[in-house]
Amino acid sequence: MSEQTAIPVHEITPAADLAARFPGAVTVDTRKGYEGCIVDRDHLVEVATAVRDEFGYDYLSSVTGVDYLPEGMMEVVYHAYKTTGGPGLAFKAQTPRDDAVVPSLVAVYPGADLQEREAWDLLGIRFEGHPDLRRILMWEGFAGHPLRKDWKEPYFEEEGKPFKNRWPDGQVYRIEDKNPFDNNVQYPEGFDPAQFEVDDESLLYESLKRSIRGRDSALDTDVIMVNMGPQHPSTHGVFRVAVALEGEKIVALKPVMGYLHRNHEKIGERNTFLHNMPFTDRLDYLSSLSNNFGYALAVEKLMNIRPPERAEYLRVIMAELTRISNHLFAVGTFLNDLGAYFTPVLYAIEERELILDIFEATTGSRMMCNYFRFGGLTRDLPEGIAEKIRRLVYERLPRKIDELDLYLTNNEVVRSRTEGVGVLTPEQAIAYSTCGPVLRASGVPYDIRRAEPYSIYDRFDFDVAVRYHGDTYDRYLIRIDELRQSVRILQQAIKDLPEGPIQEGKPQYQVRVPAGEAYGRVEGPKGELGFYVISTGKPNPWRYHVRAPSFINLTGYEKMCVGNKVADVVAILGSIDIVLGETDR
Amino acid sequence: MNEMKQKNIESTKFDIPPELQGQVEITTIDKIYNWGRRSSIWPLMFGLACCAIEMICTAASRYDFARFGMEIMRPSPRQADLMIVAGTVTKKMIPQIVRLYNQMPEPKYVVAMGACASGGGPFKEGYNVVSGVDRYVPVDVYIPGCPPTPQALIHGLITLQRKIDTQSIKKVRWYSKEPIDAIPVPLLGPDVVDPRQNAIIREQAEKIIEQSETNAAGTAQVEQA
């Protein structure tokens, strides 16, 4: 510790601390607009272990890669936080572009598993020592790593929007017309459609078999491989799980995703900053306003602006209404998964429709609201809507939540199907980087609204819902608890809603975003939703990454399922509450 | 009104036995056949993305498409008449969608719900997105919107019912003598490969090499400049 005395007091940041602890291996990131520190990749595992054990950053929030094409360098960015709250620490490892290798951190932070696979898939960064480095969103055999800056999609037009006009000669053309196949495809040179390797998913099944090996088996039975999805009514979309079964018991399970991978990040890097706002709606399409919130926060951090008071209140009101509508839907579909087919969903949707009416009146759309702007909102509440919200949160919703609670919570089938099923201990929940209701149901009271308050959440009086068993039942209960807390926040927010403008300055189509990086995160209904944005000062973001809670919560899915019965696969999945738009992006 | 109807029924030129008079309606076989089918369309319970949520809302109590005889959503394609493609169709998913379509028994219909299923929508430029499901399976009704509201979906389904009303049992493909070929399932190689496009792909293979050469020369020039 004696080295630290050499550093001037005002420079003692966690990053400087870390640099002092590992002289030579860690340097503070001094690029303009950047924060955190750069770790020599040879010492990455050692430094990460110290970050976790000595510095207390036990929660690895986000892992992503950035392709710095002009510098010929790839960078892997890690954002770590303390589960006791407070600001985070960003550390980065750099590697040359043509031989992108970084040691894997799965041994230190198991939550890095799926995220490192994603970085390998989309950016081609190899993580040495990763136990199961396969492609995750695209299929094996896909040509290239699409998020690399020099990789061009078949419908490539220009590097950044706005594009030049599509009718230069007075004649409009479509991008298909320029593609030789009149379709969204491209093939490598010399490709022969008669003979090529079709992805037979052998890597997936090998990985399943590796997980099976070393099990202690009391039964002498064959292991059966079962595939559930991508078309299955209980997968909440196009999610797929490959399960290895011994009798009824699950011995191994691998989530397979990417069936709804719609290239959010690649499109996001071509878009201007504001263009991305409507795309964030379509991430977690059940809670579009929360997504808007996270993205607006990240970009506002870069631009260093804050919205006016009334806009802050309206943002909180909209985000909490979104949380209610999402949790209602989550509880309804969860019961669907347990076999209470459609009736609980009907009850949940009835209330959700009332909230959607408010969204439609305010933003113009039921689901894809596109309501937030940098430094404000698109429009104010129309006449009568504030009263509608007030009636909803003071009268109707509390009663309806109680009703849901009364019908479901002590239902015998619900309890026997869920109690003690899919347990995740607090240590595991933190290690697997689970977030939101899943983390809090495991007894970790970590809620970003409290841990690192954003917007005006520090003004409201509410409890962080927490449950301690970490089983499927608690993950259901925590949603009921959170519904009540959201109603509490809403009651305070609608009461104190001030008058005033809703947009800082004049609304702009083209915002000027200074160069730098920012990681904005919000407590979305599904968990920590983070946006990692890098600007180079141009109209388009250089890198736009989404830390998707649905995606990262699935890291611990195998751990929750192994040892349970096959019917619990859907119950546990329902209790994690994933949305495929966000899982696959 | 009743009297008039009674009169109409009894004034047919067909010879109706007295005990059945007043109890029989006469219509064309097409009409009764189409009426039966249009009133019991069972959709495949199959959602891809955001639009699926609006589809669920349409099935729920407020909009309730059970009013049109469509409430029985079947999770198995073998029991379904209608595939509502609700959401973005990706290249990774298209083999499964084509397979599901092939597994559905005739008569079968496809509704492309929303901008993505109709033509790629906001994600059209994406490398993993199919520009419209109609590149692979025949679509009967397109519903615009992102996502279409439940009202729009219901309007689309009523449009489908109208389309069914116009069908003639003599002409429909599932009663024709010619066999109906299954749609070849696309394969996932370096990119998605539609077997029906093999000839074009082969034809373009040489051109692509030429193009990439000229492109490479072009970019080299730009870099020098």
Could you tell me the CA-to-CA distances from A266 to A7, A147, A148 in Å, in that order?
41, 6, 9
- Residue A466 confidence class, pLDDT cut points 50, 70, 90: very high
Rounded CA gap, A136 and A556, in Å?
16
Residue from the list B61, B146, B189 with its beta carbon closest to the beta carbon of A197 = B189
Q: Of A176, A192, A230, which is closest to B96 when you measure between CB atoms?
A: A230
Q: What is the pLDDT of residues A26-40, one digit of tens each?
A: 888 888 888 888 998
The pLDDT of residue B7 is 62
Residue A180 identity: P
Chain B residues within 8 A of A180 when measuring between CB atoms: 204, 207-208, 211
* List of chain A residues whose C-beta atoms are within 8 Å of the C-beta of residue B60: 345-346, 349-350, 353
- Compute the distance between CA of residue A117 and CA of residue A124 in angstroms, rounded to an integer: 9
User: Smallest CA–CA separation between A199 and chain B, in Å?
Assistant: 6
8 Å CB contact between B86 and B48: yes
For B116, name the nearest residue in chain A, comparing CA atoms only: A262
Strand partners for A39: A26, A93
Segment A310-321 mean pLDDT: 92
Interatomic CA distance for residues B86 and B157, integer angstroms:
13
Could you say which of B149, B191, B209 has the minimum Cβ distance to residue A190? B209
Strand pairing of A59-68 and A73-81?
antiparallel
User: Which has the higher per-residue pLDDT, B11 or A536?
Assistant: A536
- Label residues B171-195 b or e (16+ Cβ within 10 Å = b): eeeeeeeeeeeebebbbbbbbbbbe
Does the pLDDT value for residue A1 go beyond 50? no
Average pLDDT value for residue range A546-566: 90
What the block records as the tokens of A361 is 């009146």
Cβ pair A142:B197 closer than 8 A? no
pLDDT (tens digit, 0 to 9) for every residue of chain B, 225 residues total? 566 666 665 566 667 787 877 777 778 888 888 888 888 888 888 888 888 889 888 988 889 888 888 878 888 889 998 999 988 999 999 999 999 999 999 889 999 999 999 988 889 888 999 988 998 999 999 999 988 999 999 999 999 999 999 988 888 888 888 888 888 888 888 888 888 888 888 887 777 667 667 766 666 665 555
C-alpha A381/C-alpha A390 separation (Å) is 13
The pTM for the full model equals 0.88
User: Cβ–Cβ of A267/B45 closer than 8 Å?
Assistant: no
What's residue A502's pLDDT?
86
pLDDT number for residue A4: 47
A183 in contact with B at a CB cutoff of 8 Å? yes
Residue with tokens 């024709």: B176
Place of tokens 């349409």: B58
Share of chain A above pLDDT 70, in %: 96
Q: Does the structure show a pLDDT above 50 at A90?
A: yes
| A204-217 pLDDT tens trace | 888 888 888 766 55
Contact across the interface for B61 and A153, Cβ inside 8 Å: no
Contact A267 B123 (CB under 8 A): yes
- Among A194-203, A576-585, B59-68, whose mean pLDDT is lowest? A194-203
Please report residues of B whose CB lies closer than 8 A to that of A181: 197, 200-201, 204
Residues in chain B closer than 8 A to A183 (CB atoms): 131, 135, 194, 197
Task: Copy the structure tokens of residue B34.
Answer: 């189409």
Distances in Å between the Cα of A196 and the Cα atoms of A199, A258, A323 are 10, 22, 47
- 8 Å CB contact of A183 and B127: no
Distance from CA of A119 to the nearest CA of B (A): 17
Contact partners, residue A357, CB within 8 Å, separation at least 6: A388
8 A C-beta contact, residue A311 and residue A403:
no
- Grade residue A291 by pLDDT with cuts at 50, 70 and 90: very high
pLDDT at A303 exceeding the cut of 70: yes
* A567 CB within 8 Å of a chain B CB: no
Mean pLDDT of chain A: 87
Q: Is A189 on the interface with B (CB under 8 A)?
A: yes
Any B CB within 8 A of A238 CB: yes
CB A273 within 8 A of CB A541: yes
A183–B123: do the CB atoms touch at under 8 Å? no
More confident residue, A336 or B221: A336
Please report the pLDDT score of residue A212 as a whole number: 80
Quote the pLDDT of residue A11. 55
Tell me: the pLDDT tens digits for A392-444?
Answer: 999 999 999 999 899 888 888 889 989 889 899 999 999 999 999 999 999 99
Give me the mean pLDDT over the A556-575 stretch. 89
**Which of chain B's residues have a Cβ under 8 Å away from the Cβ of A194?**
198, 202
Task: Return d(Cα B172, Cα B7) in angstroms, integer.
Answer: 34
Q: State how far the Cα of A21 lies from the Cα of B29, in Å rounded to an integer.
A: 87
Residue A5: predicted pLDDT: 47
Which residues on neighbouring strands pair with residue A227, listed in sequence order?
A: A242
Picking from B146, B127, B147, B88, the residue whose alpha carbon sits closest to that of residue A137 is B127
pLDDT reported for residue A440: 92
Dihedral, CA of residue A328, residue A333, residue A336 and residue A337, to nearest 10: -130
A190: nearest CB among B146, B200, B205: B205
| Res B111: pLDDT | 92
pLDDT (0 to 100) of residue B138:
92
**Bigger pLDDT: A14 vs B206:** A14
Identify whether the C-beta of residue A124 lies closer than 8 Å to the C-beta of residue A148: yes
Which chain B positions have a beta carbon within 8 Å of A238's beta carbon? 48-49, 93
Tell me the nearest-neighbour CA distance from B36 into chain A, angstroms: 26
Report the alpha-carbon distance of residue B2 to residue A51 in Å, rounded.
Answer: 86
3 state DSSP class of A332: helix
Residue B141: what pLDDT?
Answer: 93
Instruction: Tell me what the mean pLDDT of segment A512-527 comes to.
Output: 89
A461 part of contact set with chain B, CB < 8 Å: no
A3 — pLDDT class (breaks 50, 70, 90): very low
> What does the pLDDT average to over A117-140?
90
A189 closest CB neighbour out of B96, B193, B209: B209
Of A198, A233, A580, the CB nearest to B75: A233
- Say what the pLDDT of residue A485 is: 92
CB pairs under 8 A between A and B: 178
Phi, psi of A196 (to 5 degrees): -155, 165
From chain B, the residues in CB contact with A279 under 8 A are: 122
Flag if A260 and B48 touch (Cβ within 8 Å). yes
Distance from B161 to chain A by nearest Cα, in Å? 25
Of B57, B135, B211, which has the smallest distance from its Cβ to A349's Cβ? B57
Q: Which residue has the higher pLDDT, A454 or A10?
A: A454
What lies within 8 Å, CB to CB, of B176 at 6+ separation is none
Residue A470 has pLDDT above 70, yes or no: yes
Q: Please indicate whether, in this complex, the C-beta atoms of A258 and B204 are within 8 angstroms of each other.
A: no
**What's the pLDDT score for residue A2?**
44
Nearest-neighbour CA in chain B from A347: distance (Å):
9
Residue A501: per-residue pLDDT: 87
Q: What is the pLDDT of residue A314?
A: 92
